Structure 1
C-alpha cells in the first residue's frame, strides 16, 4: 500500500478544510458515517439480509455525503450558525401599552 499524504490546513489563521469540507462539516460527516455503521450493525444483528443492509447503508451514505457537501458549499464556515441565529430574531416586537416606556418618578 502506498502512503497517502493529505493537505489539511490551507494557511495560517484559516479554518480547517479537507477535500472541500470546511470547519464543522468534517465532524458532521464523521458523525453521520459512525451512525451509519451502527445502523448497519443493528440491521445485520437483527437478521436482515447482508445485501439489503449494504443497499440501505449505501443509499443513506450517499445522501449524507451529498447533503453535507451541499451545506458546506451553501453556508460556508460560519453561515449556518448565522442563518440559525437570524431565524431566532423576531420580525416584529408588538407592545400594546406605553407603560414600558414611561419612567416611574
Structure 2
C-alpha cells in the first residue's frame, strides 16, 4: 500500500510579500501603477501627443516604484500604520477640573 504525503503550508499567519514589498505597500504599489495606466490612457484618448503620454506614464510609474520601495525600506512592515497612529495621538491630555474634585469622597447610595 502506498502512503500519501501532503505538504504543509508553512506560510499561514505570515504577511503577504512580493519581491520585498510587504503588507500595505503592495496595495500602494498596485493602486499607483493602475492609476498611472488609467491616466495615460485618458491622456492618449484626449489627444495628447503619444510621446508625452509615454513620458508621463513611464515617469509616473518609475516614481511610484521608487517611492514605494523607499517607504518599504524606511518604515518597514507596519511603519505606515504606526506613523498614521502617531499623528492621531494627542500630545498631552487637558484636564480642566480642579484636583480637589477628584479627591472628594462621594457618599454611596443606600439601598432602600
* Backbone CA RMSD of aligned residues: 2.3
Question: How big is each residue's C-alpha offset from its partner over 1:7-49, in whole Å with a ceiling of 9 and x where there is no partner?
Answer: xxx9453212111111121121111111011101110011000
Q: Does 1:101 align with 2:102?
A: yes
For 1:63, the equivalent position in structure 2 comes to 63
| Distance in 1 between residues matched to 2:91 and 2:51, nearest whole Å | 50
What are the residue-to-residue correspondences of 1:1-105 with 2, within 5 Å?
11-98=11-98, 101=102, 105=107
Residues paired across the two proteins, number? 97
| Distance in 2 between residues matched to 1:58 and 1:101, nearest whole Å | 63
Q: Point out where structure 2 has 5 or more consecutive residues left out of the alignment.
A: 1-9, 108-112
| Distance in 2 between residues matched to 1:34 and 1:102, nearest whole Å | 60
| Distance in 1 between residues matched to 2:42 and 2:103, nearest whole Å | 63
Report the TM-score, using the length of structure 2 for normalisation: 0.74
| Distance in 2 between residues matched to 1:78 and 1:50, nearest whole Å | 40
| Distance in 1 between residues matched to 2:97 and 2:12, nearest whole Å | 53
Structure exhibiting the larger radius of gyration computed from Cα positions: 2
